[in-house]
Amino acid sequence: MRLWQKAMIGLARSERVAAWVQGAACMGRFSRMFVGGGDADAAVGRAMELKAGGMTASLFYLGEYVRDPELIRRNAAELEAMAPKLADAGLDLHLSVDPTQVGAMLSWEVCRENVTALAQSVAGLGGAGRSVVMLDMEDSSVTERTFGLYHELRAKGLPVAVTIQSSLHRSREDLDRLVEDGAMVRLVKGAFAEGPEVAATGRAARDKSYRDGLEQLFSARARERGVYPVLGTHDHRMVAHGATLAARHDWRPDQWEVEMLLGVRPVYQRQLVDQGVAVRLYLPFGESWFPYAIRRVGERPANAWFVLRSMLDGLAG
């Protein structure tokens, strides 16, 4: 699986491949499967559709690992402009941001300024639901600085949350600190092909690390501290384990949620909503959709068949 992931990540970072695929008409179905729209208005419309179906959304502007100052400014501006649109629509002001899309590849000071401005905007607007800037977690080279940014913004009283990859060896200690902080934490297994010196490898080890993380996030201590667990997974076994822990330690249904990606296991998403589980979908928008979408194929090889069908259907049409 790590070789497959590496291959997909390599494609995701190829500007030549991205330009070709994003210009191919036959890939339209592929983009719509995973992406909420080409601009902010389309994404807000998609989020409103999800709300009508009992789900919330976390908006993410496509574009990461950016070094060009102009692209960094555009990424930050697109995210900040999204906040009032969500407020006007009566939606959660829930925005996800990759540090490398708003300046981390150029300067962490630039990144800090951009994320701080975004969090201040969200704080100022309020919103009808849960208002927060969720820091996405990228590869292990930026883990420490991402946590540093989270704790800095949290200390300023800004609405910020953070993603943690359970498979990293360091995550138990990171989660201990986040529990004491009463943090909103999105727990994911980790989509990056890290080496065994950095992370657990192999399905059994990765599953165990996720269960261990759930034990920390759903502990009685975490509930007392005001932790808000977000289960960032499509694995029904992990969701079931989290629900069991929540019941065991007296967590109410409104004190935690499951977050999944748009276009991945939609039938299961609906089943969870029908069971009374709070479900949020990660809703990307923007024109630079291929790097994001192809990583979804890397995480779940079965999605490759959808890509192939999309291409064949488009060519046939």
Domain limits of the chain? 2-20+40-310
Q: Is 2-20+40-310 in CATH node 3.20.20.140? A: no
Average pLDDT of the residues in 229-252: 97
Q: How far is CA 223 from the centre of its chain?
A: 23
pLDDT of residue 161 exceeding 80, the answer is: yes
pLDDT band of residue 306 (cuts 50, 70, 90) is very low
> What confidence score (pLDDT) does residue 314 get?
42
Window from 42-46, 120-124, 138-142, 275-279 with minimum mean pLDDT: 138-142
- Give dist(CA 307, CA 115) in Å, integer: 34
Strand partners for 134: 96, 161
- Give dist(CA 291, CA 82) in Å, integer: 21
The H helix count followed by the E strand count for the chain is 14, 8
pLDDT > 90 fraction of the chain, expressed in percent and rounded = 68
List, for residues 285-294, the tens digit of each pLDDT value.
Answer: 987 766 676 6
> What confidence score (pLDDT) does residue 77 get?
96
Strand partners for 126: none
- Give dist(CA 240, CA 257) in Å, integer: 12
